Structure 1
Amino acid sequence: MKIIVPVKRVVDYNVKVRVRSDGAGVDIGNVKMSMNPFDEIAVEEAVRLKEKGVATEVVAVSCGAAQCQETLRTAMAIGADRGILVETNAELQPLAVAKLLKALVDKEQPSLIILGKQAIDDDANQTGQMLAALAELPQATFASKVELAGDWVDVTREVDGGLETLSLSIPAVITTDLRLNAPRYVTLPNIMKAKKKPLDTVSPGDLGVDVTPRLKTLKVAEPAGRKAGVKVADVAALVDKLKNEVKVI
């Protein structure tokens, strides 16, 4: 069984991003970049399935600039067997990424595609669902538990009323939630081994995919600052403000 895991290079979650002066986006110059945390969970889950003997190969895929090779090497240090980079300097939006992944799925014929549920830079939460639609594959989103049994995969996901378990025939698309697992610490020996693992580079043109952006960002702005709170003398004053000023009671 082959598993494909798409990974995205994003600004590290510990970095406080700054909006560019022209309002066209955020400044990523000279800031630390890393693998999207949800994608790291997806890689960890795929590697665990391989360690259980369920999967035979884990392929990490990334779309973007040449620097995405670093993200793929991190995925291979976690345990992925090889990497594929779809190299382009174009702005990649969720639909374009889904089309690129669909082309790779057609080529690689994996049994599972495991993605992070969303990227922490745009929070779109769209790529996995779009890929499932384009590839006409069953999907389960926000997975908190994944179990394979023959030609079926059982996915447990959290819903408002509790837990929901879905059974999907494979091949299938799964997107991961935070509660699925805790990614392992990447050791130096594994980092060195990852440098020797194969990494192929292709272009969107090689896959026959047009990645021209369909959406235009009009403006990016800092969130409005929170106003200072108000102290009240007693409960009666609090109730009066809630009733007459805020009008919530």
Structure 2
Amino acid sequence: MADCENQEALNLQKEFEWVLHQEVHTALDQIHEILVECARRFPVQLYGHDNSSKQDKFVLSVPPDQLKCVITLTGDSITHAEISFKVQRSQSNVVRTKIQNEYPWKLQQIQDAANHLQQAIYHIDDVGKSYRFKSSDEVLHILGNILGSLQRGRTSLIVPKKKAIDDLIKSRNMKSLSPNLSEDLAISFYLQSHKLIFAVYQLSDNHGKMKFDSVQAECSVPWLNEVLVLFTVGLQLCQQLKDKICVFSQYKDFTVGSRPPSPSNT
């Protein structure tokens, strides 16, 4: 019985060393390839690829003429936009404004996601091709860094940061508009999953209490959808490798070149 247990432990040790020396590097190479492909899709300078001059045109509207916005997205900024929308006022109820090339509207979510993606790639680059891992904890530490960067990058695109109406009105991007909007109006462009969303907010005094109404339009951004798919694939591959390594991490005495723990006689 003891011999069987010893043999089983020895086989487990051999499998552990094969996973550390072979499978981990193979999986990291695969993850690296996916993430570099993801980087190629970003319309910014990222990991040796520069798509910052890439332009896309979109029309966002809510009929009938309640809201319409024709925009040009260049890199991570809206470089041109023709905007018109209706407001609840007794006078002229159509507001028109525009964004010009000289004062682009920055979509910070794109750059944030790109930065996190690049960090994830660098975590893999830091592991030399010939490096020999010595323990499961060492691999789990690196995978934790990669997973963290990918999760933050994906979240940057999927979950826009909430802003109070006052912060929207005072935001630096509002200065991109020409002419400027009145102090009771604000607009916002943001990403949510694979969509670009344009929202208009109007403050009003309701019997001494301030309230705001909003209306929004959205459109699908093809490269965003591709980026999110690749983020998800990268996360899944990382998690699969982590799960496999965790099987071995319960054997705390396992390190490369060590003898397997002797079975207890008790």
With normalisation by structure 1, the TM-score equals 0.26
Higher relative contact order (CA 8 A, sep 6+): 1
Larger Rg: 2
With normalisation by structure 2, the TM-score equals 0.25
